[in-house]
Amino acid sequence: MRTRIEAALDTTVARATGGAPPRLAEAIRYAVFPGGARVRPHLCLAVAAACGDDRPAVADAACTAIELLHCASLVHDDLPCFDDAAYRRGKASVHCVYGEALALLVGDALIVQAYEALAAAGHAAPERLPALLTILARAAGSPHGLVAGQAWESEPAPDLGTYHRAKTGALFVASTMAGAVAAGRDGVPWRRLGERLGEAYQVADDLLDAVADPGECGKPVLQDAVLSRPNAVTTLGLEGALAKLRALVADAVDGIPDVPGAEPLRQLVMMQAKRLVPKALQTAA
């Protein structure tokens, strides 16, 4: 599945970079390759597979769009006016290498290219496009998507749940729902799986920020404390956060709709969930 995701990303990114201003093209590639774990596109394709994956080109486009929106948000969040992060995925962040102006444009280009990917594959199943577009716009934009999540950081007293649902949950929900819609199913029953995995991933990220070494997560640690951001470990303690993570994964698995490919998907989610626990805590889990 990794090969399929990278190939789909490469095809879409190539359309954005061929003939583009050379430094922009280079910076776009730098922002997308090599990626991290590609958690969201894997989830999207796994759901599409469980639903029969009858239009693989549409599922490819959906998972590509989701990953490009994720990459765009990383590039913009790392900018000096937000996290001012020097490292991402184990290398210098985009603005540190290419400057703020190009980093801003890379993010913009990736958002647009996410929709271009859907357009390019949409001819194969145009009747699925309105739902796919709506799912992706909700996940990426305002009032409840990535952009809103980032904006809640600028508000004086944001609700923690609202913040996390927008900042992390929205794109996980989009991953499961878009995977189902890309395979011709209703997306709504897949919301719970995405929501719970998004929450689990957020708790895992909080654990990683609290206990991991920088080499394990490829970015600076203890940033939540440094930036006074809310963190589940601060609120619940290490054991409490681990227990919450386990409960969320169990509820996610329970929430998988009864489709022909449900059982392999359950196995996959449980296997992947084990990796969410930082190495330093894996005996405790």
Task: Specify the residue, 169 or 255, whose C-beta has the smaller distance to a copy of itself.
Answer: 169
Q: What is the DSSP string of 56-117?
A: HHHHHHHHHHHHHHHHHHHHHHTSTTTT--SEETTEE-HHHHHHHHHHHHHHHHHHHHHHHH
- Please state the closest distance from residue 123 (CB atom) to a copy of itself, in A: 5
- Please state the closest distance from residue 77 (CB atom) to a copy of itself, in A: 10
C-alpha to C-alpha distance for 64 and 111, rounded to whole angstroms: 11
- Please state the closest distance from residue 138 (CB atom) to a copy of itself, in A: 8
Query: CA torsion angle for 77, 203, 59, 141 (degrees, to 10)?
Result: -40
For tokens 């730098």, the residue is 30
Tell me if residue 119 falls in helix, strand or coil: helix
Task: Specify the residue, 44 or 147, whose C-beta has the smaller distance to a copy of itself.
Answer: 147
Kindly give the residue spans of alpha helices, DSSP state H, lying in the chain.
2-17, 22-32, 39-50, 56-77, 94-122, 129-140, 146-152, 160-164, 170-182, 191-211, 214-217, 223-226, 232-254, 262-274
Task: Specify the residue, 53 or 116, whose C-beta has the smaller distance to a copy of itself.
Answer: 116
- Please state the closest distance from residue 197 (CB atom) to a copy of itself, in A: 22
Task: Specify the residue, 109 or 269, whose C-beta has the smaller distance to a copy of itself.
Answer: 109
The amino acid at residue 249 is V
- Please state the closest distance from residue 165 (CB atom) to a copy of itself, in A: 12
- Using CB under 8 A, list all residues that contact a copy of itself: 15-25, 28, 72, 76, 79, 81-82, 99-102, 104-105, 107-109, 111-113, 115-116, 118-120, 122-123, 126-127, 129-130, 133-134, 136-138, 140-145, 147-148, 150-152, 154-155, 158
Task: Specify the residue, 136 or 200, whose C-beta has the smaller distance to a copy of itself.
Answer: 136
Task: Specify the residue, 99 or 161, whose C-beta has the smaller distance to a copy of itself.
Answer: 99
- Please state the closest distance from residue 276 (CB atom) to a copy of itself, in A: 28
- Please state the closest distance from residue 200 (CB atom) to a copy of itself, in A: 25
Q: Contact at 8 Å (CB) between 129 and 175?
A: no
Q: Contact at 8 Å (CB) between 170 and 139?
A: yes
Could you give the C-alpha distances from 81 to 31, 76, 84, 150, 154, in angstroms and in order?
18, 9, 7, 11, 11
Counting every residue, how long is the chain?
Answer: 285
Task: Specify the residue, 4 or 144, whose C-beta has the smaller distance to a copy of itself.
Answer: 144
For tokens 């995977």, the residue is 179
Q: Contact at 8 Å (CB) between 201 and 37?
A: no
- Please state the closest distance from residue 55 (CB atom) to a copy of itself, in A: 13
Task: Specify the residue, 1 or 101, whose C-beta has the smaller distance to a copy of itself.
Answer: 101
